[in-house]
Structure 1
Amino acid sequence: MTDAPYSLPGWTHTYSGKVRDLYRPDDGADRMLVVASDRVSAFDHVLEPGIPGKGALLTRLSLWWFDRLASPAGGTPIPNHLVPGAHAPHPVADRAMVVRALDMQPIECVVRGYLTGSGWAEYREAGTVCGIPLPDGLGNGDRLPEPIFTPAYKAPLGEHDENISFARAVDLVGADRAAQLRDTSLEIYARAAATAEDRGLILADTKFEFGVDGAGVLTLADEVLTSDSSRYWDAEAWRAGSTPAERMASFDKQIVRDWLAANWDRRGTPPNLPAEIVARTAASYRELIARLTG
């Protein structure tokens, strides 16, 4: 696996997900170190090789968005899990965040503003996305009449996340918390989409994760609005494109998904990514940061 856990003085590795590693402080403080690796995943598999520099790029973008969303000038401040003034240790300083430990919610909060991906596949079969009816006549890449909240249940490690209805989300976390997750996710999406639009980008969809702190405050956590958790498209290409491929010129890991879908039947071990796909993906991540942050 690319990016094996680091040996970090004062921190003990406790968990590795598909692309991130978690560490706990040896002094018992109520915080964690979240390290973004260069690993890349698609279709619930970690692929080889990784994307050079990916972890640092995604951390940089998350920090930029956390700061922007926390600013009253951008709307209602969104609390996040960063520990103010804390610095990650060398050698992971550019790819890690020191964060507060939270009671993480078991729901992945997905917001879709455009019809694509698994949503497009479901729409072609049933006219719905995650069970939500949509108007007839939409095409791949079309803008939805309004953004929709389509939660997913975060499955245990090694299992597949499951798209769920809002009613099921209520069963999992209660009516008030489910409504808060939905409304906060839609608000963040609207603000981020407007920011992207100002920079010639479309935020097609994204996913958020939230936790609750000791005071009961809903808190934005994990990564936010990165190339791994979101689909970003070039706005001019979307307006001018005559085919889905032309319309959805992307700045995310869709390059990886498309290559893998064309070269793997999803059985057994996925093939290694070609060097050209790795290079194109890394370039798209860098371009997105340049366009968003200037």
Structure 2
Amino acid sequence: MPDLPLVARGKVREVYDAGDGRLLLVASDRISAYDAVLPTPIPDKGRVLTALSVWWFDQLTPVLDSFGATHHLLSATDVPAEVAGRAMLVRRLDMLPVECVARGYLSGSGTAEYARTGSIRDVALPPGLVEGSRLPAPVFTPSTKAAVGEHDEAIDFLRVVDLVGAARAEELRELTLALYRRGAEIAAEAGILLADTKVEFGVDAGGGLVLGDEVLTPDSSRFWPASSWAPGAPQPSFDKQYVRDWLTSSGWDRVSPAPELPDDVVAATRERYVAAYEQLTGTPFV
């Protein structure tokens, strides 16, 4: 976008200054795993992330309204032609320094921490849970927001209080869990389990809380087919866990440059992203 000033470049997105308090978020086909950007793109990934986020912002508006909050999306159509389909025009916000994570099932790093401590950070969990277990109730397990190439760090609720203040921390926890619960209900109607998700919030000029970035995409969430859910092992998924699993099996040490993805892994990953969009929204991806 040579006509717009570049504000930031993330693992997946470029952010441009669109003027008048607006930003242009452009989603690429890059894919990241274990805090590294992989050298192989996934075709159509940027379009899936954008279309699904736009759909979810609409679905989640009633939840945001009930908290007196909003989302940052202004338009997904009033964007430059060269990035049409993978860009959103959004409000510029003061982003909060917390990754807000909600979990309804035990998976990923949460499983490893639970196995060591019986909890995830300061959230105690009952004994006897295994990979893929449904939790008694959704839990809030936030993390820091790391720069590209650095690692997110799981934090407890008191650290969130330190970062944003007690009242805002409580607001973040309650709204994150409310968004997760509504997202899980909608996903369940489509035959999908929302195992966990990450959302980000900013503050507008009036101090209001605003849902930003992307929301409930295969990059930020774990989606499992409900029909094959079987606790006790890693679950089949509609998200980038497939890529994480391949990287683990490849022997990559997570320190050296990430390997190229084989063609079959690229194709299977694209298929999962598209399937998530189509099954959740009930519409074909074109």
Q: TM-score range by the shorter chain?
A: over 0.9
Shift in Å, 1:77: 7.1
Change beyond 3 A, Cα 1:85–1:257:
closer
- Tell me if the contact between 2:133 and 2:232 (Cα under 8 Å) persists in the aligned partners: no
User: Partner of 1:3 in structure 2?
Assistant: none
TM-score, with normalisation over the residues of structure 1? 0.91
User: Partner of 1:15 in structure 2?
Assistant: 8
Q: Output aligned runs, 1:110-149, within 5 Å.
A: 110-149=101-140
Shift in Å, 1:14: 2.5
1:150-177 residue CA offsets vs partner (Å, 9 max, x unmatched) = 1111134432211111001001100000
**In 2, distance between residues paired with 1:128 and 1:72?**
28
Change beyond 3 A, Cα 1:59–1:128:
same
- Tell me if the contact between 2:143 and 2:153 (Cα under 8 Å) persists in the aligned partners: yes
User: Partner of 2:23 in structure 1?
Assistant: 32
1:16-51 residue CA offsets vs partner (Å, 9 max, x unmatched) = 1111101113xx421100001000000111002110
- Tell me if the contact between 1:152 and 1:163 (Cα under 8 Å) persists in the aligned partners: yes
Change beyond 3 A, Cα 1:85–1:96:
closer
- Tell me if the contact between 1:69 and 1:77 (Cα under 8 Å) persists in the aligned partners: no
* Identical columns (%): 52
Report the number of matched residues. Answer: 281
Letter in 1 for 2:38: L
User: Partner of 2:170 in structure 1?
Assistant: 179
TM-score, with normalisation over the residues of structure 2? 0.94
**In 1, distance between residues paired with 2:186 and 2:264?**
30
Give secondary structure in 2 for the equivalent of 1:227.
coil
**In 1, distance between residues paired with 2:77 and 2:275?**
28
Give secondary structure in 1 for the equivalent of 2:71.
coil
- Tell me if the contact between 1:109 and 1:151 (Cα under 8 Å) persists in the aligned partners: yes
User: Partner of 2:242 in structure 1?
Assistant: 255
User: Partner of 2:225 in structure 1?
Assistant: 234
Structure 2 spans left out of the alignment, 5+ residues: none
1:52-81 residue CA offsets vs partner (Å, 9 max, x unmatched) = 000001000000000111147996675100
- Tell me if the contact between 1:33 and 1:97 (Cα under 8 Å) persists in the aligned partners: yes
CA RMSD in angstroms, aligned pairs only: 1.8
- 1:199 corresponds, among 190, 201, 211, to 190
Letter in 2 for 1:208: V
Looking at both structures, which has the greater relative contact order when contacts are Cα pairs under 8 Å and sequence separation is at least 6? 2
Give secondary structure in 2 for the equivalent of 1:163.
coil
